[in-house]
Every structure is written in C-alpha cells, then in structure tokens.
C-alpha cells in the first residue's frame, strides 16, 4: 500500500468516499437496468429471439472469466506513475459511453450483444481497480472497513433509483415511448460519476520499492491448511460449492417478466415501489451478517440459510402477491447474510498466498453466471418460469452437499 501521512489521512480520504459511492451507485444501477428491466422489454414488448439473446449473454458473461487477467494487468502496469487512478477514470468513462450507446440501440440485438460485452469489460475493470484502490489506500483494517462501507452504500443506492424510475415512468409496459423515457432518464445517473472521476486521489509513485505488501484481511478463527491433510480436495469442494451456490441465477433473467404475467402490472408497480427502498434492508442485512459471523461459525450459518432460501424460492410459485412480496424481501435479506458468510468462509482457505486462492474460488461465481444466466434465457423459450425457479431451488440446495466433506 502507499505510505500515507496520518495527519493528512482524513482529508486524503474524503474525496474518495464520495468517489466510491458514485462509482458503485452507477455500477449497480446499470446492471439493475440491464438484468432486471430489459428482460421485460425484450420478452414482452420487442419479442426478441431468446436463442439469439442467450448467445449474446453467453459471449458477454464470458468476459467475467477475464477478471484475474485484468487484475494482473493493473497490478503490473502503471499509467503516469499511478497504479489505479487512470484505469478507474478510463473504465468509468467507457462504461458511461457504452451504456449510453446501448440505450440508443436496445432494439438491435446484435449491436446490443457487442455493447454488452464492452460494458462488462469496462465495468469489470472499474470494479477491479476501485476495490484494489480501497486496499492500497487503507493502512489499517478500520480504514479499510470504512472505505468498504462507502462501496456498499453506493451499491445499495444503485438499487434504489432504477426501481423508482420504473415506478414513476412506466405506466404502460408495452409502450416503447415509456421505455425510451426511462432509459434516457437513467442517463442522468451518469452525471455524478463523470463529474467525480477526475478528482479521485491516489499517491503517485514511480519507485516500486515504496509500495508495500497490502495488509491481509484478518478473519477470526482463520484456519491454515497446514492442518488440513487434503488441501487439493478442499479446494475442489469449495469451487463446486460456490458454483452451485450461485446457480439460482438460472431464473434471474425471465423472473421479472414472469412477475408481470402472474400478478399484473399494477401489482408489479407496487412491488417495484417497495423494492426501491430495499437498499435500507440490504444495509441492515449486511450488518446482521457481520454480527452473526462473530457469534457462530460461517459453515453452520450457510447450512441453515441455504435450505431456507430454497424453500422460499418454491413458495414464490404458489403464494399470492402480498405474501410473495414479504417472502421476496425475506429471501433477499437472507441471501445477503448468506453471501457475507460465504465470503468469510472461503477466506478461511489458506495455502501460500491466500488472496490468489480466494479469487480462484470466488471466480466460480462468475462461471455460474456465465453458464446459468444464458441457459435460463434459452430454456425460457421452451419451459415456463416456474420450472426454472424449481430447478434453481434444487441446484441451490445441492450446493451444501460438498461442504459436508470440507473441514474449515
């Protein structure tokens, strides 16, 4: 990390707090529009060929597998002496540009696919460099957690504005003019990001010797694999666990169109109004996850929560609108707590350079998205969404089976 003077650290971080909020507000908002609302436009209004759409998704999500490559590039090549700053600025402006272009070309599926790939490249670079900057400029765990709080705050706020815009602007889901209005209004969310990016602060260093090794994140009760007799088997089992733990995204893309068909547009608008305030519950859920990890072993929490979430998925199919809304919020909250404990749990895997193995295991989440999101879009052409939800619930519950044999 870069050496900082403690007496100037407070002013040094202030602008970055704002930067992290706006970066992740924009980042989250864009993907809510792309993954929650565009499926409604594609399925119910434009009637896009789902096989072609699945192919475009397959190509776009394959970009996620390049994350370790992008991280290596930014770790080893600086721009004008800065390790992260110019990568963040460049990727942020490119993300904004590609999102604007996709907003003007959403009805051209081939152009949409190309731009979606470019959005994933630029957004992944932005995410990689921003979180690396958090580590670089955080000399203590207290400052690191403070910076990560502003990242989480930005992500939570990013889940507010898209749902609110949909509730405010989409009166007729089949009206192209309404969709165009919402998409063009969403461009306004880019203004804070584009304004703050040039002011991101990072110490410029030409001499690599002034960069120290980043401080490791301390996890209570961390277990070294020196005491584990089968580290390779443990590594494989954790990768399988992560892959299936995020396989429930198989019904993510057709899910919102399914809700409109099941409950009607009026109820769906009410649901979106409630969902726009979910960011408050998300913040509380993250705090609960942090509290529980100090009181119980993450593995136990995972074993309890995943089957409950699977049961909630199955109940989505049979319950009326009021109970569905309650269950959806409950499922999302439990999912936030479970994800927090999953992250802590896989951090326990330690062999040599812990961060390398952590990122390798975590990359299987991206592999799950790469496979199951396009697969869900493709299968939605042949089977009803209720079956996809059932498949997602089954795959999610399968994920805990490898953990039975993991001793961490």
Phi, psi of 286 (to 5 degrees): -60, -40
Domain boundary, last residue among 189, 215, 241: 215
Which two tokens mark 349? 């895997």
- 164 and 25 both lie in a single domain: yes
What's the angle, vertex CA 370, arms to CA 93 and CA 164, rounded to 5?
A: 55
pLDDT computed for residue 306 by the predictor = 93
- 195 and 239 both lie in a single domain: no
Residue numbers of the domain that contains 260: 219-408
Q: Which of 79-93, 165-179, 354-368 has the lowest mean pLDDT?
A: 354-368
User: Taking residues 276-281, what's their average pLDDT?
Assistant: 74
Q: What is the pLDDT of residues 126-166, one digit of tens each?
A: 888 887 787 677 666 666 667 767 777 787 788 788 888 88
Q: What is the pLDDT of residues 290-308, one digit of tens each?
A: 677 677 788 888 899 999 9
- 373 and 391 both lie in a single domain: yes
Query: Number of structural domains, the chain?
Result: 2
pLDDT computed for residue 217 by the predictor = 40
Domain boundary, last residue among 181, 215, 249: 215
pLDDT of 314 > 90? The answer is: yes
- 143 and 189 both lie in a single domain: yes
Are 82 and 133 within 8 A, CB to CB?
A: no
Q: Which of 150-154, 369-373, 377-381, 387-391 has the lowest mean pLDDT?
A: 150-154
- 60 and 111 both lie in a single domain: yes
| Residue 110 banded pLDDT, cuts 50, 70, 90 | confident
pLDDT of 263 > 70? The answer is: yes
Q: How far apart are CA 263 and CA 175, in angstroms?
A: 19
User: Taking residues 64-70, what's their average pLDDT?
Assistant: 78
- 302 and 167 both lie in a single domain: no
- Least Cα distance to 343 among 193, 238, 250 occurs for 238
Provide the CATH number for the domain around residue 389.
1.20.1250.20
- 110 and 162 both lie in a single domain: yes
- 161 and 229 both lie in a single domain: no
- 211 and 225 both lie in a single domain: no
Domain boundary, last residue among 215, 234, 254: 215
Q: What is the pLDDT of residues 218-242, one digit of tens each?
A: 434 444 444 455 778 888 888 899 9
Q: How far apart are CA 241 and CA 30, in angstroms?
A: 28
The model's pTM is 0.75
- 196 and 244 both lie in a single domain: no
Phi, psi of 400 (to 5 degrees): -80, -15
- 205 and 298 both lie in a single domain: no
- 296 and 392 both lie in a single domain: yes
């Amino acid at each position: 990390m870069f050496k900082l003077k403690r007496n100037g650290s407070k002013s040094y971080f202030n602008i970055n707090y704002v930067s992290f909020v706006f970066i992740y507000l924009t980042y989250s908002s864009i993907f809510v529009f792309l993954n929650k609302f565009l499926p409604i436009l594609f399925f119910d209004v434009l009637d896009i060929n789902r096989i072609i759409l699945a192919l475009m998704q397959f190509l776009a999500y394959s970009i996620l597998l390049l994350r370790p490559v992008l991280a290596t590039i930014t770790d080893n090549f600086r721009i004008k002496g800065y390790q992260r700053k110019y990568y963040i600025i460049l990727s942020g402006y490119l993300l904004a540009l590609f999102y604007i272009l996709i907003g003007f070309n959403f009805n051209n599926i081939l152009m949409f696919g190309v731009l979606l790939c470019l959005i994933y490249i630029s957004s992944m670079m932005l995410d990689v460099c921003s979180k690396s900057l958090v580590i670089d400029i955080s000399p203590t765990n207290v400052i690191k957690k403070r910076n990560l709080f502003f990242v989480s705050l930005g992500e939570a706020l990013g889940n507010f504005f898209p749902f609110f815009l949909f509730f405010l602007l989409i009166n007729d889901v089949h009206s192209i003019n309404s969709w165009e209005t919402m998409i063009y209004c969403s461009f306004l969310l880019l203004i804070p990001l584009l304004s703050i990016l040039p002011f991101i602060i990072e110490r410029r260093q030409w001499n690599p010797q002034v960069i120290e090794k980043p401080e490791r994140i301390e996890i209570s009760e961390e277990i070294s694999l020196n005491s584990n007799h089968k580290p390779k088997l443990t590594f494989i089992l954790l990768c399988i666990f992560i892959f299936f733990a995020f396989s429930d995204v198989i019904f993510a893309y057709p899910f919102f169109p399914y809700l409109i068909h099941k409950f009607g547009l009026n109820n769906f608008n009410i649901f979106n109004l409630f969902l726009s305030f979910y960011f408050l519950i998300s913040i509380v859920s993250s705090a609960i996850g942090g509290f529980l990890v100090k009181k119980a072993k993450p593995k136990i929490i995972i074993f309890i929560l995943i089957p409950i979430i699977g049961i909630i998925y199955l109940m989505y199919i049979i319950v009326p609108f009021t109970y569905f809304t309650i269950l959806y919020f409950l499922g999302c909250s439990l999912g936030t707590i479970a994800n927090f404990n999953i992250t802590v749990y896989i951090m326990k895997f330690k062999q040599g350079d812990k961060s390398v193995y952590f990122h390798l295991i975590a990359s299987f989440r991206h592999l799950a998205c790469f496979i199951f999101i396009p697969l869900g879009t493709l299968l939605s052409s042949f089977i009803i969404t209720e079956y996809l939800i059932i498949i997602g619930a089954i795959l999610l519950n399968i994920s805990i089976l490898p953990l039975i044999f993991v001793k961490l």
